Amino acid sequence: MPHLLHPSWTSLKRAAWEAGLPQLPLTLLNSVIAVSALASSLFPEKDPKSWGPSIVATCVGSLNLIGCWIGAMPCCHGSGGLAAQYKFGSRSGVAPIILGVGKITLGLLFGSSLFGLLKAFPQTILGSMLVIAGTELASSIRFQRGSRDWIVLMLTAVSVVSLEDTGAGFCLGLVAATVAACKTGAVRLLSIKKLNKIQKGVVGRGGDDKEDGEKQGLLLPVSMVIGSEDERRGELQ
């Protein structure tokens, strides 16, 4: 039966440095950001505030802060689990409740002998389930809009795989997304300023100059000011 643990200060520091800190990037990405983004894409008709990153992070943190005192394993809301449950037909919170009740029941009935039963679980079935879950999770790239989003996505994925470090890949992807957003914002700002300057000159000199400016190509295309069609769609998403 579970009992209250009393870890020493040395054990807490060691666990935080050797386990908590390395796990932080993976937990932040897979258990918070990815879960929120995937839930919004799978259930666009529902209110996204119900699974916002702050709510998910608070839930994950509360689970681990409470469970660690009775020896519970670290818990999280994995995006892979969400993708798998959705792929196999789950559309509400009833599925994880049934799963949790089943695990508690098995644990109370079999205790430590459950390890032997789990080892006997067919690996081929487990592998097939993982392939299906991974395919569903990877298919979320279909929601990307515009070349900029695709470039950032591919750069992040390649960085994570090649460096074998989720945290480093995330940081590189974040830097790339920030640079791309700053570049787009700067181009739009300069375009708007130039357009306003031209329009002020047209107003001051009269309508004939406006027609001359249009003929000479001085007025900027609308797409340069408000962005391309793909970028606008991506922002709406």
| Eight-class DSSP state of 220 | P
Q: Which of 84, 77, 82 is nearest to 135 (CA)?
A: 84
* Confidence (pLDDT) at 107: 83
The pLDDT of residue 191 is above 80:
yes
Query: Is the pLDDT assigned to residue 223 strictly greater than 60?
Result: no
User: Mind giving me the DSSP string for 24-92?
Assistant: HHHIIIIIIIHHHHHHHHH-TTS-GGGG-HHHHHHHHHHHHHHHGGGTPPP----HHHHHHHHHTT--S
- What is the arithmetic mean of pLDDT over 29-40? 86
Average pLDDT, rounded, for the chain: 77
Give the pTM: 0.56
pLDDT digits (tens, 9 = 90+) for 117-168: 888 888 888 888 888 777 877 776 666 667 777 788 888 888 888 888 777 8
Secondary structure (3-state) at 161:
helix
**Nearest to 156, CA basis, from 140, 147, 168:** 168
State how far the Cα of 92 lies from the Cα of 99, in Å rounded to an integer.
13
Using one digit for the tens of pLDDT, what is the confidence trace for 41-74? 888 888 888 888 999 999 988 988 888 888 888 8
CA distance 217 to 46: 46
What pLDDT is stored for residue 1 in this prediction? 62
Residues 6+ apart with CB under 8 A from 34: 79
Contact 99, 92 (CB under 8 A): no
* pLDDT for 229 beyond 50: no
Structure tokens at 174: 């974040």
Length of the chain: 237
Smallest CA-to-CA distance from 34 within 179, 172, 153, 137 is with: 137
Say which range, 38-47, 160-169, 201-210, 212-221, has the weakest mean pLDDT.
212-221
For residue 230, give the amino acid letter.
Answer: D
Arithmetic mean of pLDDT, 225-234: 47
User: Which segment of 33-42, 184-193, 208-217 scores lowest on mean pLDDT?
Assistant: 208-217
Q: Per-residue pLDDT for 39 more than 50?
A: yes
Band (pLDDT 50/70/90 cuts) for residue 101 is very high
With residue 187 as reference, give the H or E element that holds it: helix 166-205
Give the pLDDT mean for 23-45.
Answer: 84
For residue 136, the model assigns a pLDDT of 72
